[in-house]
Copies of this chain bind each other. A is one copy, B any other.
Amino acid sequence: MEKLVGACMFGQSGGPTSVINSSAAGVFTEALKQDCITKVYGAAHGIRGVLNEEFYDIGEEDMKELMLLKNTPSSALGSVRYKLKPEKVDDTDYKRLLEVFKKYNIRYFFYNGGNDSMDTCNKVSKFMKKSGWECRVIGVPKTIDNDLFGTDHCPGYGSAAKYVATTMMELKLDANVYDTPMITIVEIMGRHAGWLTAAASLANYKGLGADLIYLPEKPFSVDKFKNDVKNVMEKNGGKCMVAVSEGISDENGKLIAEVLAGDSLARDSFGHAQLGGVGAALANMCKAEFGCKTRAVEFSLMQRCGAHLASKTDVEEAFKAGAAAVKYAVKGTTDKMVILKRDMSSGKYKCKVGVMSVAKAANAEKKVPDSWIINDGTMLSQEYIDYALPLIQGDCKAPLEDGLPRFAKLKKVPVKK
């Protein structure tokens, strides 16, 4: 196959993670090496940057800073939550994208994100094909939620899971110091899939975890919860530590945060409810029910940006996924998402890359298998531990300067319109 010569565009989308920039480093360093890629552009705020012709010339960056991206959390180029309307409803954005792609001779489009970003990839890819503009589109997966279908796991998950497990261990030590009854409720991100909350069980594996773990995969009953806590309190001398996913819902699918708050929640531009607060609501309820001290802890943004606790495995795999996207595209692959494949053939964990249809990735959601949720919906099985443990191995953080992380500082030279 003749090589496709032209510029590449890379964008970051959706909620940031500790390693989304590591994938960016993988894309950039690989793209800069490829002869057929004439220019490497980084879009400011994802697809919106492309639409607005706001992007940076990555060729102007120092290689040292690009490599520091591996240990820099969040989205260095800026992210976006922007959903392309179906072409039939409104094709304005698509026409504009084609215009920009033609103007800058963009022949490679790499987009890093979760389900919604894969949907964007799919739509862009289809439109370009229909319009006769040859352009290779590859999605690079990322999400702390680990809910992308078709990949063994997602870049971003291992580091967030390591944050959750490590912090749960530390919290358990902290919560146990007083000899008085105490209920601690830890709220962890995850709307529909409980992968990240499940990581609390890795702390249990090391003897310092939550007594009860609730995932959104199982309907949550407030009455059963009270009874579960009561049983733990009786057994543990008045102590109980609980990990709950922000997305736990009752049997009718109503969020427990809503059930307890009694009012509706704000929604973002994708129509997702803006959650938060279920931990505090449960803690208040427990205070009234058990009359003891309670504490609600929310891992909040720290669980997705705590790069100082990044997993080396995750950082390296994220980089590899980014580099692989470029290699696949240069070889002719398009309309695919890079996936990570677990290889245990040597008896030890190894990770290989592959690709799958980006359309499939966009429309499916991977949840924690039912059989991994044990103890009447309050704990994870050894299968989960075996699955997750390899993903959190190794330390890998930014070099220290004045005792604090030295993150990448990009020049962000804007491309002239």
A residues adjacent to B (C-beta < 8 A):
12, 16, 44-45, 48, 72-76, 78-81, 162, 165-167, 169-171, 173-179, 202-203, 205-206, 208, 295, 297-298, 300-302, 304-309, 311, 389, 392-395, 400-405, 407
Q: Across chains A and B, which 7 residue pairs bring their CB atoms closest together, nearest first?
A: A74-B173, A174-B305, A79-B177, A392-B403, A170-B305, A393-B403, A75-B177
| Closest B residue, CB atoms, query A76 | B173
Cβ-defined contact, B394 with A173, below 8 A: no
**27 pairs across A/B with beta carbons < 8 Å?**
A45-B177, A45-B178, A48-B179, A73-B170, A73-B173, A73-B174, A78-B178, A79-B177, A81-B178, A165-B404, A167-B306, A169-B407, A170-B302, A170-B307, A171-B302, A173-B407, A174-B301, A174-B305, A203-B404, A206-B401, A208-B407, A308-B308, A311-B403, A392-B403, A393-B402, A394-B403, A395-B400
Known pairs A166-B404, A167-B302; list 10 more (Cβ under 8 Å).
Answer: A16-B173, A76-B173, A78-B179, A80-B178, A165-B404, A169-B407, A170-B302, A171-B301, A173-B305, A298-B300
Greatest chain B CB density within 10 A among A205, A304, A404 is at A404
Q: How far is the CB of A399 from chain B (nearest CB, A)?
A: 11
Task: Give complex CA distance A96, B75 in Å.
Answer: 60
Partner of A404, one of B81, B174, B202: B202
For A203, the chain B residues whose CB sits under 8 A away are: 404
For A407, the chain B residues whose CB sits under 8 A away are: 169, 173, 208
Query: Given that A173-B72, A176-B78 are contacting pairs, would A403 and B298 also be in contact in the complex, using a CB cutoff of 8 Å?
Result: no
Cβ-defined contact, B170 with A206, below 8 A: no
Task: Give complex CA distance A76, B173 in Å.
Answer: 8
| Closest B residue, CB atoms, query A392 | B403
| Closest B residue, CB atoms, query A402 | B389
Q: How far is the CB of A252 from chain B (nearest CB, A)?
A: 28
Query: Given that A297-B301, A297-B302, A302-B297 are contacting pairs, would A205 and B173 also be in contact in the complex, using a CB cutoff of 8 Å?
Result: no
Cβ-defined contact, A304 with B78, below 8 A: no
Task: Give complex CA distance A170, B73 in Å.
Answer: 7
Partner of A402, one of B176, B177, B205, B400: B205
Q: How far is the CB of A269 from chain B (nearest CB, A)?
A: 9
Task: Give complex CA distance A178, B405 in Å.
Answer: 22
